Amino acid sequence: MIIVMERGATKEQIQHVFDRIRELGYDVHPIYGVERTVIGAIGDERGKSRLQVLESVPGVEKVVPILKPFKLVGRELRQQRSVVQIRHIGVGSDQLAIMAGPCSVENREQILTTAKIVKEAGAQFLRGGAFKPRTSPYDFQGLEIEGLKLLAEAREQTGLLVVTEVMNPRDILSVAKYADLIQIGARNMQNFSLLKEVGQANKPILLKRGIMAKVQELLMAAEYLAAQGHHNVILCERGIRTFEDATRNTLDLSAVPLLRELTHLPVIVDPSHGCGIRSLVPPLAKAAVAAGADGLLIEVHPNPEEALSDGQQSLFPDQFSALMKDVRKYAELEGRYI
Ligand code: PEP
Ligand code: MN
């Protein structure tokens, strides 16, 4: 339920409402607006009518139900867009967040070279997997802790922020030690144990849409994070599996404006995994910006032919630089910048 306080409700009145909500067995999620405070009362849906009694409490204007199943991440409770602040970059602000780098961290030279290239072209984040979710157990699985250390070294040299994936709850604290943004990959979007534990890290989270996940399931996964008080969440559209097998996945660009209507969380797009074909990445990246994405996640490799994973969809350095020039123009049309 949403408890809308009157304009000018006093601190004491607001505190009293908090106390009453808790007495009734609900969690309190306040949003302090410029004009008024609204309070989300979240908990067992079956007894929600009990909250209706708050309508007669001084300072309360009205009590309204949240109709959607995603309560905290939805726009019913919070109309204003959220900006996830990661050091000096606000994801969801007018500045587009550009995250670029190889699929996997392979060695020192590869990651440091890539970091310099993507930084030069305008990226603010370096991406690279140290723990890789590979379809085959015989494929390269990532450098693990060594990979995390190399990412941190690249950050020191370039000032780029680091985004990297965690797959196993036991690695959360190690990943959090080196990453600025923790990625939950598509294969783990509904790994609810991981979602429940990743909040411990107290780091922003990039939540990628599952391979077979509906938009609502993505939002419910984000709701798991928010329900534990973890609000620094960025969503990522990365393509879904459909009957079409001409591309690796079908990039669902309609999800971008749809998510912007349904949630206040920032939404970025990964066209690389979205199509799996290098030549399609630049047009899809531009389309994503035109569709309202708050940023892009793009695979770039200094030598894609020798990449240990996802070489076929990784851009060559000069392709990435050219794309960034184009993206700046698209961003401007959207009233945004890099
Ligand atoms: C990745 O970003 O390298 C990755 C494995 O992505 P996804 O989880 O979307 O497949
Ligand atoms: Mn990849």
DSSP labels for 273-335?
HHH--GGGHHHHHHHHHHTT-SEEEEEB-SSGGG-SS-GGGPBPHHHHHHHHHHHHHHHHHTT
Nearest atom (ligand 1) to Cα of 127: 2
Evaluate: CB of 142 within 6 angstroms of ligand 1: no
Instruction: Give me ligand 1 centre to Cα 185, in Å.
Output: 5
Mean pLDDT, residues 232-257? 98
**Residue 273 CB less than 6 A away from ligand 1:** yes
CATH for the stretch 2-64: 3.30.70.1140
For residue 76, the CA-to-ligand 1 centroid distance in Å is 30
pLDDT band at 48 (very low <50, low <70, confident <90, very high): low
- Per-domain residue ranges of the chain: 2-64, 84-333
Render pLDDT for 90-136 as a digit per residue (tens, 0 to 9): 999 999 999 999 999 999 999 999 999 999 999 999 999 999 999 99
Q: Compute, in angstroms, the gap from residue 197 CA to the centroid of ligand 2.
A: 24
Instruction: Flag whether pLDDT at 165 surpasses 90.
Output: yes
What pLDDT digit, counting tens, does each position of 282-335 carry?
999 999 999 999 999 999 999 999 999 999 999 999 999 999 999 999 999 999
Q: Residue 11: exposed, middle, or buried by beta-carbon count in 10 A (0-12, 13-18, 19+)?
A: exposed
CA 261 / ligand 1 centre spacing (Å): 25
Pairing between β-strand 125-127 and β-strand 97-101 as defined by DSSP bridges: parallel
Q: Are 273 and 313 in contact (CB under 8 A)?
A: yes
In whole angstroms, what separates CA 202 from the centre of its chain? 14
- Whether residue 56 is predicted with pLDDT greater than 70 in this model: the reply is yes
pLDDT at 44 over 90: no
What residues sit around ligand 2, an ion, with C-beta below 5 angstroms? 103, 310
Q: Which ligand minimizes its atom distance to the CA of 310?
A: 2
CB distance 238 to ligand 1 below 6 Å: yes
**Rounded distance between C-alpha atoms, residue 62 and residue 189, angstroms:** 36
Rounded to the nearest whole angstrom, what is the distance from the C-alpha of residue 101 to the centroid of ligand 2? 10
Three-state SS at 128? coil
Where are any strands of DSSP class E within 103-199? 125-127, 161-165, 181-184
Ligand 1 atom 4 nearest Cα: 185
Rounded CA separation 222/209 (Å): 10
Residue 132: nearest ligand to its CA? 1
Which one-letter amino acid corresponds to residue 165? E
| pTM value > 0.85 | yes
Identify the nearest ligand to the CA of 271 by its number.
1
Give the nearest ligand 1 atom to 239 CA.
Answer: 9
Q: Which ligand approaches the C-alpha of residue 307 most closely?
A: 2
Ligand 1 centroid–CA 209 distance in Å is 10
CB of 301 closer than 6 angstroms to any ligand 1 atom: no
* CA 51 to chain CA mean position, Å: 32
How far is residue 305's CA from residue 173's CA, in Å, rounded to a whole number?
Answer: 33
Fold of 84-333: TIM Barrel (3.20.20)
**Whole-number mean pLDDT of the chain?**
96
pLDDT tens by residue, 247-291: 999 999 999 999 999 999 999 999 999 999 999 999 999 999 999
Instruction: Choose which residue among 209, 249, 270 to substitute to test ligand 1 binding: the one with the highest number of ligand atoms within 8 A of its C-beta.
Output: 270
DSSP for 200-224, please give it: GG-S-EEEEPPTT--HHHHHHHHHH
Indicate which residue's Cα is closest to atom 10 of ligand 1: 186
Q: What is the pLDDT of residues 65-101, one digit of tens each?
A: 999 999 999 999 999 999 999 999 999 999 999 999 9
**Cα dihedral sign, 43-45-48-50:** negative
pLDDT band, residue 200 (cuts 50/70/90)? confident
